């Protein structure tokens, strides 16, 4: 059943991404006579400095189609000359025209019905220029209709995406208020990713006229690196959801957070446009790598609720990178993929944690929750499916603390210990208080090495926060009594070793 559902979700994501690509290709398909250019149209021509590129071509006028449709223009300023006469001009040189489809309505008096008409387009740019699609001729009514469709799928959906992402942020912040520490980290990462997504969509849609070339360059530089921030913080969220904190230590997190900062710094503070292109290339490669890693963790840990959005993101990403690599004029779909992925992950995460909260309350009513720490009590063990790794934990020196400072202080230590542990494990793992200061963890679908990473990180946090550590032992969880016996033996050996080490230090 699981495999069937997974396969259906993957096929659905692939099908919808294919349909999206087909529809975008259909509405951008020339619907009239195509302009014949003297040289091949460049979808994207990199500029090393602010300059302009001129393209020349010819077209036949049939007495009916006197409008030229440009599906997408990449330029800060765009001029169109027909038979030597300036017919239209778009942009003021301080923004990017490329989200828009443009219509040039040529006065019929300028057109020759009996011989080819000459057209010259001048594309001004700061970083790059180009034409997407194949400009063609149409009637004014048809051009308006077709451009309206392009505008719907390109700009209107983007605006809807901004609104939907803002709503996700609002819901995440509400959920954040009642979340535990681990959930708060996930929500916070998703909020940051969503905020960068909104900023990316805003600059994608509203940068046609920024007021000055310098300000436009800032927009362009953010366009280069903004998606890297989105994917980086999405990656953090997925990593915690799938593995707890097994992989996300502070050093690793710091390195990953630094990469997009370096990229945007290179783009923003460089004196040469060349470095913006370098940052753009690195950002694309880095984003592709992150997409593969996110895909890996979601499938490895069978987060089925994320299958559809991550596969959709993957297919749109592959399509986009293919178009960019081959310099084709097809529409890019990656921003649709990022938006769908973020919205699905945000809503699925909120739903996932809320379902767990409801389940927790249900278990509490069934007397399966320890009232002091809020974790499971030992009654839940009989309900847990066998399989996984069993880890037995026992706080070091807790009895001394409890006797010295009293039970109230001891209870506060146990509560804090429970909070620390919960911040390091996943929602599908089990944390159980067996009695006193003895706890156990049951990890599902986690390799032994990853379990030990979690335990070591947990130990360090306990030492830093509580001032005490713990001893532990582990075993495969097939039978509780056998697993407990084996883990208890290992834990006892660890306690003996610690005692001998402490004795040596104290000179006993």
Domain stops at, among 115, 138, 161: 138
**How far is CA 373 from its chain centroid?**
34
Do 373 and 469 fall within a single domain? yes
The count of structural domains within the chain is: 3
In-domain check, residue 87: yes
Contacts of 328 (CB under 8 A, 6+ apart): 43, 322
Mean pLDDT over the full length of the chain: 83
Tokens 């025209």, located at residue: 97
C-beta of residue 316 within 8 angstroms of C-beta of residue 333 = yes
Structure tokens at 318: 């592959």
- Report the distance separating Cα 237 and Cα 248, nearest Å: 10
State pLDDT tens for residues 159-217: 888 888 888 888 888 888 877 677 788 888 889 988 888 887 776 666 655 566 777 77
**16-51 exposure pattern, b = at least 16 Cβ within 10 A, e = fewer:** bbeebbeebeebbebbbeebebeeebbbbbebeeee
Structure tokens at 86: 């300036």
Do 339 and 287 fall within a single domain? yes
Domain stops at, among 138, 165, 200: 138
Question: Residue 194 has what pLDDT?
Answer: 87
Higher pLDDT: 204 or 152? It is 152
Percent of the chain at pLDDT > 90 equals 22
- Report the distance separating Cα 367 and Cα 6, nearest Å: 35
Question: Residue 415 has what pLDDT?
Answer: 93
Domain stops at, among 292, 324, 358: 358
Instruction: Give me the CATH number covering residue 391.
Output: 3.30.70.270
State pLDDT tens for residues 344-397: 888 877 777 776 666 656 666 567 888 898 889 988 888 888 888 999 999 988
With 0.85 as the threshold, say if the pTM is over it: no
Do 490 and 386 fall within a single domain? yes
**In Å, what is the CA distance from 502 to each residue of 457, 463, 466, 498, 507?**
22, 16, 19, 6, 9
Do 172 and 88 fall within a single domain? no
C-beta of residue 78 within 8 angstroms of C-beta of residue 209 = no
**How far is CA 183 from its chain centroid?**
17
Looking at the predicted structure, is the pLDDT value of residue 504 above 70?
no
Residue 327 structural domain: 2-24+151-358
Do 19 and 50 fall within a single domain? no
| DSSP alpha helix (H) spans, 157-306 | 157-177, 181-205, 213-243, 250-269, 273-300
Instruction: Give me the CATH number covering residue 18.
Output: 1.20.1070
Do 232 and 322 fall within a single domain? yes
Do 201 and 303 fall within a single domain? yes
Instruction: Give me the CATH number covering residue 123.
Output: 2.60.120.260
């Amino acid at each position: 059943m699981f495999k069937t559902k997974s396969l259906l979700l993957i096929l659905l994501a692939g099908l919808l991404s294919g349909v999206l690509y087909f529809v975008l290709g259909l509405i951008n398909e020339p619907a009239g006579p195509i302009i014949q250019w003297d040289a091949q149209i460049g979808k994207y021509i990199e500029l090393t400095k602010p300059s302009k590129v001129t393209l020349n071509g010819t077209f036949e006028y049939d007495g009916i189609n006197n409008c030229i449709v440009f599906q997408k223009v990449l330029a800060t300023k765009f001029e169109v000359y027909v038979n030597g006469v300036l017919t239209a001009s778009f942009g003021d040189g301080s923004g990017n025209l490329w989200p828009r489809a443009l219509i040039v309505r040529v006065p019929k008096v300028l057109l020759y019905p009996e011989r080819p008409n000459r057209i010259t387009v001048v594309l001004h740019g700061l970083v790059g220029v180009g034409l997407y699609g194949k400009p063609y001729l149409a009637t004014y009514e048809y051009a308006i209709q077709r451009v309206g469709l392009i505008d719907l799928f390109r700009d209107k959906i983007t605006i809807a995406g901004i609104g939907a992402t803002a709503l996700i942020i609002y819901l995440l912040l509400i959920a954040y208020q009642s979340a535990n520490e681990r959930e708060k980290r996930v929500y916070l990462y998703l909020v940051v990713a969503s905020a960068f997504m909104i900023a990316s969509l805003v600059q994608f849609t509203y940068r046609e006229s920024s007021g000055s070339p310098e300000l436009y360059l800032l927009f362009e530089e953010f366009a280069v690196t903004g998606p890297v921030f989105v994917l980086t913080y999405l990656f953090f969220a997925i990593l915690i959801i799938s593995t707890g904190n097994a992989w996300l230590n502070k050093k690793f997190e710091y390195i990953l957070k630094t990469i997009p900062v370096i990229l945007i710094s290179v783009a923003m503070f460089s004196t040469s446009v060349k470095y913006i292109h370098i940052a753009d290339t690195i950002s694309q490669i880095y984003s592709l790598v992150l997409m593969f890693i996110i895909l890996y963790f979601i499938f490895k840990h069978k987060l089925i609720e994320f299958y559809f959005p991550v596969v959709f993101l993957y297919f749109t990403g592959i399509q986009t990178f293919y178009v960019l690599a081959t310099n084709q004029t097809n529409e890019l779909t990656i921003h649709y993929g990022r938006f769908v992925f973020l919205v699905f992950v945000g809503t699925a995460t909120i739903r996932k944690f809320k379902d767990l909260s409801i389940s927790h309350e249900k278990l509490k009513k069934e007397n399966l929750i320890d009232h002091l720490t809020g974790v499971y009590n030992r009654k839940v063990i009989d309900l847990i499916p066998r399989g996984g790794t069993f880890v037995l934990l026992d706080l070091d020196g807790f009895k001394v603390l409890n006797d010295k400072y009293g039970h109230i202080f001891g209870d506060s230590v146990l509560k804090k210990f429970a909070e620390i542990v919960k911040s390091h494990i996943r929602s599908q793992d089990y944390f159980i208080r067996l009695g006193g200061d003895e706890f156990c963890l049951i990890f599902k679908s986690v390799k032994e090495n990853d379990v030990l990473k979690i335990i070591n990180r947990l130990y360090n946090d306990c030492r830093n926060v509580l001032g005490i550590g713990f001893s532990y032992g582990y075993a495969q969880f097939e039978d509780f009594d056998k697993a407990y016996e084996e883990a208890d033996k290992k834990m006892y050996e660890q306690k003996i070793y610690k005692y001998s080490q402490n004795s040596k230090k104290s000179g006993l």
